[in-house]
Amino acid sequence: MSTRDEAAELAAALGARSWQPPRVTPLDRRIEVDRNSVERGLASLVLTVVELLRQLMERQALRRVDVGDLTAEQIERIGVTLLALEEQMVGLREHFGLAPEDLNVDLGPLGPLLPTD
């Protein structure tokens, strides 16, 4: 059984002298990988998910307050917890050099992931 080299046959048909497969270089030579940009990108992704969850929890807490589903003590604890989480988010964004808008992923026709209110 003979193997057929279609690329070499095509090169010969087009009048090329010979065909050699391209040399593949290691991935790190083809893509510029900067440790800082990778770290910042990963931090941005994780903080985006955390911010989305924080906003969802905040909205749910506000709904429960509006319905009268919570005691005054529960409202106070939720408020303190959400405030502490927001402060942590600010500190992490500053640590990684991210602005709040850096966490808002553009979903194309759906618009931004996080509300801009």
Output the six-digit token pair for 76: 């106070």
CA gap 90, 52 in Å, rounded: 14
- Average pLDDT over the chain reads 82
Q: Is the pLDDT of residue 20 over 80?
A: no
Question: Contact 99/93 with Cβ under 8 angstroms?
Answer: yes
- Residue 1 predicted with pLDDT over 60: no
Check residue 114 and give its pLDDT. 80
